[in-house]
Amino acid sequence: MQTASCLDPISSAKALRKRIRRDGRFLFADLTGEYMPDVISNTFRIFTPHKPEKNRIDNGINSVQFDMYKQTVFDYPSIIQAKLGGQWSKYNRLISAQVGLCNYHCWYCYVPEDILRGKRVQSLTAEQLVEDFLQTRAKDRTRGLESNVLRISGGEPFLAPDLVLQCLEYIERVGLQEEVFVWSETNLSPFLKEAGDQSTLVETWLEEQGKTLEDLASFNNFALHPCLHGTTFLDFAQTTLVRAEFFDRLVSAFGTLVDCRVDIYPTLSSNTSPSEGLEYLFSKLKTISKKLPLRFALIEDDFNYPPVDERLSRERRQGTIYGRKLLITKWSRLLEESYGCKYAEIPRKRVDLRM
């Protein structure tokens, strides 16, 4: 029995916003005893983007060969290298913290429900988070490891855009903005507008703090990874349990990010999304920004996590898995028709959305 898709992402985001930020502190996952690999403390775990043995490949590294059907683009290191300089290997060890709430209910999410619903969390200020990161970074250096990227994952980090901005501001205050990078993610729902409003939820929340989305975009040591959880209205609704009519508005939310010049590197799942309807999505993205489809990575989701099986069993949901070759082939064909290149031929770091 498929659980009904009934979530309103705007009202749920507003409700969770009141919980995730209180008295200048933010809720983060408490990773104590967590099953996830590479957990190093109750706050952090390690993520390695370019990892060939896992078929995660940074196609922006000059010497790397990439097979679009067998491998997945994880190009964080070369993107950050293009912005901060140095060797790409300096940016291949991400110290990841996870905010503790999310307003989606994706069946394939690897994060346990008690974290996503805010039941196993801890409270930190942005300054405490960055200081904990810097202490971890210093310890890693004594072991010959480069840890120069703070990743703020989720949950949904942009329920607290002021957290991300405060982290960047603190890194600048301590003079590390040319060495330390902040990478974050979003499911795009905080970039929706309520009916009749001129501002998105994120813009409203930042304005309450006397800040703007342009302030966030002004930091060269920041990039945002928007995850589009579907290719069609129905696919999106079945994946997230969010009402299908919000799909178009979420795609349009890319317009706010592009207009405010936030440096974005979006993804689309290649094995949980159908290839049907891809032409519509591709066309809509092109109307937002001519080169926006070139910024997309088609990732392969991993389902080998206990929360996925538990979620499907407990809620009697059905997770639909697709052969990724169909979607990749069609996306690559659309790129060739529009830009004269196949998927992943042009590294995303070379795609300028301002042109």
Closest CA to 186 of 82, 68, 77, 102: 102
Per the DSSP assignment, residues forming a β-bridge with 73 are 57
Please give the residue range of the domain that contains residue 58: 9-350
- Kindly tell me the burial class for residue 178, based on how many C-beta atoms sit within 10 Å of its own C-beta (0-12, 13-18, 19 or more): middle
Query: How many domains is the chain partitioned into structurally?
Result: 1
Tell me whether residue 4 is in a domain: no
Determine which helix (DSSP H) or strand (DSSP E) holds 175, and give its type and residue range.
none
**What's the CATH number where 38 sits?**
3.20.20.70
pLDDT for 324 beyond 90: yes
Report whether 332 contacts 68 (CB < 8 A).
yes
**Amino acid symbol at 298:** L
Q: pLDDT by residue (tens digit) across 4-23?
A: 668 999 999 999 999 999 99
Q: Are strands 94-98 and 45-47 parallel, antiparallel or unpaired?
A: antiparallel
pLDDT of res. 2: 42
Strand positions, DSSP E, 131-194: 149-153, 181-186
Two tokens at 228?
Answer: 């589009």
| Angstrom distances, CA of residue 188 to CA of 51, 159, 301 | 27, 10, 18
Tell me whether residue 321 is in a domain: yes
Confidence of residue 36 (pLDDT cuts 50, 70, 90): confident
**Amino acid symbol at 348:** R
Q: In angstroms, rounded to a whole number, what is the distance separating the alpha carbons of residues 56 and 50?
A: 5
What does the pLDDT average to over 318-338? Answer: 94
Tell me whether residue 147 is in a domain: yes
Average per-residue pLDDT for the chain:
95
Total-model pTM: 0.96
Tell me whether residue 148 is in a domain: yes
Q: Are strands 94-98 and 72-73 parallel, antiparallel or unpaired?
A: unpaired
Q: Which residues contact 88 (CB under 8 A, 6 or more apart)?
A: 50, 58, 60, 61, 77, 78, 80, 81
Q: In angstroms, rounded to a whole number, what is the distance separating the alpha carbons of residues 60 and 346?
A: 8
Half-sphere exposure of 334 (CA within 13 A, CB side): 23
240-254, 257-271, 300-314, 322-336: which has the minimum mean pLDDT?
Answer: 300-314
pLDDT of res. 316: 67
Q: Are strands 56-57 and 72-73 parallel, antiparallel or unpaired?
A: parallel
Tell me whether residue 1 is in a domain: no
Q: pLDDT by residue (tens digit) across 270-308?
A: 999 999 989 999 999 999 999 999 999 999 999 988 899
Tell me whether residue 196 is in a domain: yes
156-160, 180-184, 319-323: which has the minimum mean pLDDT?
Answer: 319-323
Q: In angstroms, rounded to a whole number, what is the distance separating the alpha carbons of residues 100 and 129?
A: 14
pLDDT for 59 beyond 80: yes
pLDDT for 315 beyond 90: no
Two tokens at 212?
Answer: 């703007």
Q: pLDDT by residue (tens digit) across 207-247?
A: 999 999 999 999 999 999 999 999 999 999 999 999 999 99
How much of the chain is in helix, strand and coil states, percent to nearest 5?
A: 40, 15, 45
Closest CA to 184 of 212, 154, 206, 159: 154
| Angstrom distances, CA of residue 26 to CA of 83, 158, 206 | 28, 12, 15
Tell me whether residue 294 is in a domain: yes
Tell me whether residue 91 is in a domain: yes
pLDDT of res. 162: 98
| Angstrom distances, CA of residue 319 to CA of 158, 188, 309 | 26, 22, 10
